[in-house]
Amino acid sequence: MARSSRLKRFWRLQKVLAPTLRPAQYAYFGTLAPFLDKKPIWLDLGCGRAIVPEWFHPPDFVRYQEAVGRAKMLVGIDYDDKSLRDSALARKVRGDIGALPFATESFDLVSANMVVEHLQHPEPSLREIARILKLSGILVFHTPNLRSPFIALQALAPDWLKRALIQRIESREDEDVFKAYYRLNTSSSIEKCAKAAGFRVVEIRTVCTTPITWAMGPLVVFELLIIRLLGREAFGALRPNLIAVLERAR
């Protein structure tokens, strides 16, 4: 079945089983946008090809692009050369999160969208982020939640299977798939590392997102039914995505 046909079938199912469901990216940008109103000097970690996803609905895309434009300065950093070459950002740097090439207290805001799961040593990386943030500066990040059964299964899968599934579901090239360690992917691990690195936790919340099985036939029905269940507060800890807001405290 062609990708477009699978998408149409999935959308019909979602309208019936989870009509209010939206990708977690919307929740992430909804969290990030108010900090952009303060016209920060902003660093985006793992900036990739675009800050705001091009697949956002046009009104939302325009709204968040305008929010991005309110920053006094935006700098993107990524370790991947191809992503940087394709990025339209005016200021972009190739570098490693573990050794950021910026002076101490250079930024008001740091963001990371689906990046921290790739950190092999999260506590030193958080210390490095704290170093380049001004006092009371903010770190906002979006990442998978390892307490979600779907994410836990994904984390246990061998790399060859992960790559095959990502290529099938997301149509991403093999070179765009990076190893994930999931070492900063529970509320407790975030709280522990944040405290050790000099951050205060402002908020950690879990959110639902569109099914990872949307292109896998009948399996998506099962996942959509689980997502409906996860909408209840009693099961909130098992939602598949985390959004964290940390403030540099020292």
Domains and CATH numbers, the chain: 3-248 (3.40.50.150)
pLDDT at 166 over 70: no
pLDDT at 177 over 80: no
Read off the pLDDT band of 162 (50, 70, 90): low
pLDDT at 157 over 80: no
Q: What mean pLDDT do residues 206-213 have?
A: 90
Q: For every residue of the chain, which 3-state class applies, written as one string?
A: CCHHHHHHHHHHHHHHHCCCCCCHHHHHHHHHHHHHCCCCEEEEECCCCCCCCCCCCHHHHHHHHHHHHCCCEEEEEECCHHHHHHCCCCCEEECECCECCCCCCCEEEEEEECCHHHCCCHHHHHHHHHHHEEEEEEEEEEEECCCCHHHHHHHHCCHHHHHHHHHHHHCCCHHHCCCCCCCCCCHHHHHHHHHHHCEEEEEEEEECCCCCCCCCCCHHHHHHHHHHHHCCHHHHHHCCEEEEEEEECC
